[in-house]
Chain A
Amino acid sequence: MKEEAPWVMRTYSGHSTAKASNELYRLNLSKGQTGLSVAFDLPTQTGYDSDEAVARGEVGKVGVPVSHIGDMETLFAGIPLDRMNTSMTINGTAAWLLALYIAAAERQGVDPKVLQGTTQNDIVKEYLSRGTYIFPPGPSLRLTSDTITYTVTQVPKWNPINVCSYHLQEAGATPVQEVAYTLCTAIAVLDTVKTTGNLSAAQFTDAVGRISFFVNAGLRFIEEICKLRAFGQLWDELTRDRYGISDPKLRRFRYGVQVNSLGLTEAQPENNVPRIVLEALGVTLSKNARCRAMQLPTWNEALGLPRPWDQQWSLRIQQILAYETDILEYEDIFEGSKVIEAKTIEIKRMAWTEVERVLDFGGVISALNYVKEQLVASLTERQRRINGGEQVVVGVNSFRETATSPLYNGESSSILKVDEEAERDQLTRLHAFRAARSQAAVTDALSTLREAAVNGTNIMPVSIRCAHAGVTTGEWAQALRAVFGEFRAPTGIGGAVVARVANGNGDGAERLEQLRSRVRKSADTLGRPLKVLIGKPGLDGHSNGAEQIAVWCRDAGMEVVYEGIRLTPEQIVASARDEGVHLIGLSILSGSHLRLVPEVMAGLKAEGLTDVPIVVGGIIPEDDARELRAAGVARVYTPKDFEMMKILSDMVDVAEAAHA
C-alpha cells in the first residue's frame, strides 16, 4: 500500500541574535529538517525592545530577539519563505510578529497568500502556565480574533492559532484536564471570532478549519494515544454541534506536538533519549490521531540550552521513526481494539463533563482561577507521588546507581552557553536601525495603530504598516498597553490542596508531620513564625516550580509571600523588606540567573538586609551554581533536587542559621 507522507519535522530553536539563529536554521535544514520552529527571547515575547531596562540579561537567552523588521529579515535571510513552513512560538505579541513575518516575506517578493506556518497565539494557556501575556483577557482575545479574521482571507494557508494543551500538561494537567481545558480555550476563541461578526458564514467555516492544536505527549503513551483519539473525536463533534460545520475535513483535529519535558530528568540524562522515543510513539503510531508536525526536546534539556549536536540527535529520532520503521505503511492499527476504544471513551466522557463545568462558569476566562487551581493541585499531587515513591522515575527516585557518564560530567561543556557579547551586538544593531529609519513614518504608523486599537478595526493591516515603517516591538506593545492596560493572572496557589498532601499515607505523611513540627519550633529561634518570600524575577513566566514551592512551604507551616511572575529585583527587595521575611527563594528558568540573583543581593545589601539569605531554583548548570554560592547564595536547587521535604527542611536550616 501507499506510504503516508511523514509529518513536518522541526526543532524548537533560536538564540543570541537573528544572525546566529539564521545560521542555525540553515544548518538544521541542511540536516533534513522540513520546517522551522522559532523560539523568541522573553523581551520579544512580552513586548519589549532589547534595550529596555526589563530586558537586561534576557536578550537572546531562551530564543532569538526580534525588535524590528531588520531582525526578521536577517532571521530568514537565504530561506525562501514561499517554500518554508514556519512555526512561531509567540503569543502576547503574536499579531506583531506575524505582521513582521508578512512584511519580511513581502520584502522577499513573496505573496502572503502562499505563506505557510503557525503562530501559537494562545493567550489562555499563557495566563494558566507560560506567563508571556501582556494585556487583559478581553483585548487579548480581540487580537487573536483579529489575526484569525485577517489570515483566513489574506494568508489562507496560515494556521493563525495553535490552541495549546502542551503547557497544561507541563503545568501538571491530567489527560482529561488537558483535553477539557484546551477545548474550552478553542471555544473561547471561536466564540469571540463569531461574536465580532466580521466574517461571513462561509469565512467563519474556513476559520474553524484553520484552528490547529499544539499538544503534549508523555511517557504513558498508550493513554496518550487514547487521549489524542478522544481529542479528535470531541473536536469533530464540537465543531459540528456548536458551530454547525458540515464538511468533515474542516472538522479534523490537526495538531503539532512537542513531547513532554516535565518527565525529563537531570539525573542520568541519557535516559531521556528512550523517554523521548517512547513519547514520540504516542503521537505517531495511531494513523487516525497522528501529528502533522513534531518537535522533540533534547536529552540534556533539564541541564540547560541544547547544542546543535543535541538537536541533531533529536531530529535523527524523528527521521528513524519516519524513514526506517514501518509505521507510515499501515492504516490505523488500533481500529477495533476494545481496550483503546474503552479508554478513549472514558477520557472523552470525563473531559466533556469538565468542559461543561467550565462553560457553566461562563467559559474559560471567567473560570481562569478555578482552572489554574485545578492545575496547581494536579502538579502538587504528581510531586507527592514522586516524593512518596508511588510514581517511579528511573534514576531519580529509583535505580539511582550509575557508572560515570561519558556524555555528561556535570559541567557546562555539555550545554550551549549563550555568548554574553550577543546582547551587546543586538543593542548596537537596534540603535543603528532606529537611527536609520524615518521618525515621521514611525510616528504616523503608530498613531494609526493606536486608532485601530481604540476603534476596534483589525489590528493586522496597521501592524504590517508599522512593520514596514520601522516600528519596534517595544513601541508596538507600548502603544497597545496604553490603550488596553496590563494584566496579572491568578496564581492558583490558594486552592484547597492542603488536604491532598496531608492525606498522603506512609512515610511521606510522617515526614511532613516532622517537618511541620520543625517549622513550628523554628518560631522559637526566630521569634515569630517562619516567613518566606518566593519570587520570580525577570521576564520568565514559567511559574510552575515557584508555585509548587509556595504551596509546599505553606503546607509545611510557613507563612509564604508570593506575588506571581515578572518582578524586578527592586520589587523583590522592597517586598522582602516590607514583609520582614526570614528567607527569599528565587525561581529562574530563563538562564539569566547570573544577572538577576546578584541584582537582588545588591538590593538587599543597600537596604541593610544582609541577614536575609537567598536560595535559588532553576535550570542552573553546576559551574553557575558554584558561582552563585561563592557570591553568597545559601543553596542552589536544580531539577535533580526532587525531594521537596529535603528542600523545605534545608530552607528551615538556612533561615535558622541566618537569624540565630
Chain B
Amino acid sequence: MSIQRPPIDISTLLRFERKSIAAALNLLEDRRPARQAQALALLDDLTAFPAPAHIVGMTGPPGVGKSSLISRLIEIAACEDRRLAVVAVDPSSKVSGGALLGDRGRMQVPPHAPVYIRSFAARDRLGGLSREAFAAVFLLRHLCDVVIVETVGVGQSETDVVHIADTVVLVVQPFSGDVLQFIKAGVMEIPDILAVNKADDELLARKAMADVQAALSLERQAWARPVLAVSAATNLHLEDLDAAIRAHHHHLVSHDTLTPKRTEQTLAWATSEVLHEVGRRGLQTLGGPDGVKHFWAQQPAQWSERHRLDALLGSLHWHHTHTE
C-alpha cells in the first residue's frame, strides 16, 4: 500500500499559517495507522528544509511564574517580529488520565504577532514530554525563530526537556527553598540559565541569588551560567533574560557545539523512548545505547527523528516475534 501524501501543504507551514500548523500537529498526534504514516511522511518532507529555530526549555516547579515569564518573552519577540512557538506541557492525572491545560491563559499575545501556542498533556510521561510533544517540536523548529518548551520540572526524572532544548532556563522563586531542593535532586546540573522570578522583594531575591550562586560557584565551564533576578509582574530585567537566552544560543553556534549537542540529545531521547516502551531488557536486545546509535546512523538520511524511532521500535517488535 502506498502512503497517502499528507493533506498539508508544506509551503503554508513555512509561511507560518497557523491553521496549517494546527492541522499538522493534529496529524502528528493522531494514532490511527494511516494518519501516523502521513505524519511520518510530513516530518520526512520537512527534513529537506532548514531547522533554524532556537529551542528554549523553560522549567521549574509549579507556580513560579513560568507562563508569565514566557508571556513577556513573547512580547519582546513580537517587537522584533520573530516567529515564536510555545509548547506548553501540563501534567496528566494518574487517576483519570485527564489534564487541565491552563498555561496559555497566562500568556498574552499581541494582536497579529506571529506566535503559535499549543498545550500538551504529559499523558503517561508524568510531567515530562510525550512523544507527540517531541514530534511537535521537531516540526515547529523548521517554522520558527524560537520554540519555547514549558514543562514542570521538580526532579531529575521529570526533565525530559534536556533532550530537546538547546538552552534550558530553570525558573525558581525567592521564598520557596527550591534551590536547596534542586541541588539535592541534581536538577542544578541541568540549566544553562537561572532565573529567580518574583524578585520584586529585593531582600528575598538577594538571598535566593546568593543561594544559587553558591550552588554554582565551583563550576569551571566554557559557558558561565548566568543567574538573573527577574519579575514578570513588574518587567524587571526581562530584556536581560532574553539577551542571556540569545547569548547562550550564540555561544553554542560559535563554538560549533549546537549540531553535536542536538545529535547527542536525539540519541538520548531515542534511548529513553525505548526504555519507556520496552524497558531495560528491550534496550539490551537492541545493544544498549551504542546499539541505538548504530541503528540511527544506518537509517536513510531523509528520515526524520520520529521516523527513525518508529523503525527502531519496529525492529524490536520484529526481534520479539521471531524469538518467541
Contacts and interface: CB of A to CB of B under 8 A. Distances in A.
B119 interface: yes
Chain A: interface size category: 35 or more
Nearest to A494: B100
Contact of B97 (A557, A578, A580, A608): A557
Given A577-B19, A580-B29, A563 B97 contact: no
Interface string A384-419: 000000000000000000000000000000000000
B31 A527 contact: yes
Interface stretch (A160-168, A221-229, A458-466, A548-556): A548-556
User: Which residue, A559, A560, A562, has most C-beta atoms of chain B within 10 A?
Assistant: A559
A555 B92 CA distance: 10
Interface in A525-544: 527-529
B203 to A, nearest CB: 14
Contacts of B35: 527
B19 A560 contact: no
Nearest to B233: A136
B123 interface: yes
Given A561-B104, A578-B18, A607-B19, A528 B98 contact: no
A577 B96 contact: no
B18 A580 contact: no
Contacts of A502: 95-96
Contacts of A560: 98-101
A347 interface: no
Interface string B79-103: 0000000000000110111111110
Interface string A174-207: 0000000000000000000000000000000000
B118 A578 contact: yes
Interface string B106-141: 100000000011110101000000001000000000
A554 B29 contact: no
B101 A520 contact: no
B98 A494 contact: no
Contacts of B116: 578
B32 interface: yes
B263 interface: no
B41 interface: no
B175 to A, nearest CB: 9
B117 A559 contact: no
A563 B102 contact: yes
A550 B25 CA distance: 23
B63 interface: yes
B30 interface: yes
A499 interface: yes
B96 A529 contact: no
B300 interface: no
Interface string B45-68: 000000000000000001100000
B25 A580 contact: yes
Given A527-B32, A529-B123, A578-B18, A556 B106 contact: no
A488 B96 contact: no
Contacts of A564: 102, 105
Contacts of A493: 100, 102
Which applies to chain B's interface (DSSP): helix, strand, loop or mixed? Answer: mixed
Contact of B18 (A494, A527, A550, A577): A577
A558 B123 CA distance: 11
Given A523-B31, A527-B31, A562-B105, A554 B96 contact: yes
B22 interface: yes
A557 to B, nearest CB: 4
Interface string A565-580: 0000000001101111
A516 B22 CA distance: 26
Given A578-B117, A579-B119, A529 B97 contact: yes
A527 B30 contact: yes
A6 B35 CA distance: 72
A502 B96 CA distance: 9
Contacts of A563: 102, 104-105
B315 interface: no
User: Which residue, B29, B32, B119, has most C-beta atoms of chain A within 10 A?
Assistant: B119
A559 B29 contact: no
A559 B31 contact: no
A114 interface: no
Given A498-B93, A578-B116, A579-B119, A562 B29 contact: no
A369 interface: yes
Contacts of B26: 528, 580
User: Which residue, B32, B62, B96, has most C-beta atoms of chain A within 10 A?
Assistant: B96
User: Which residue, B98, B105, B118, has most C-beta atoms of chain A within 10 A?
Assistant: B98
B118 A579 contact: yes
B105 A555 contact: no
User: Which residue, B31, B99, B117, B233, has most C-beta atoms of chain A within 10 A?
Assistant: B99
Given A502-B96, A555-B93, A559-B121, A579 B30 contact: no
B96 A557 contact: yes
A579 B62 CA distance: 22
Contacts of B119: 559, 561, 579
Contacts of A550: 100
A596 B65 CA distance: 31
A491 interface: yes
21 contacts: A494-B102, A498-B96, A502-B95, A527-B32, A528-B132, A550-B100, A554-B96, A558-B98, A559-B99, A559-B121, A562-B102, A577-B18, A577-B22, A578-B104, A579-B22, A579-B104, A579-B118, A579-B119, A580-B26, A580-B118, A608-B19
Given A554-B93, A562-B101, 16 more contacts: A491-B105, A499-B95, A519-B98, A527-B35, A528-B132, A554-B96, A556-B98, A558-B98, A559-B98, A560-B98, A560-B100, A561-B104, A562-B100, A578-B118, A579-B119, A607-B19
Interface of A: 136, 369, 488, 491, 493-494, 498-499, 502, 516, 519-520, 523, 527-529, 550-551, 553-564, 574-575, 577-580, 607-608
Interface of B: 18-19, 21-23, 25-26, 29-32, 35, 62-63, 92-93, 95-102, 104-106, 116-119, 121, 123, 132, 233
A-B complex: 4 closest residue pairs judged by Cβ atoms? A563-B105, A527-B30, A554-B98, A528-B29
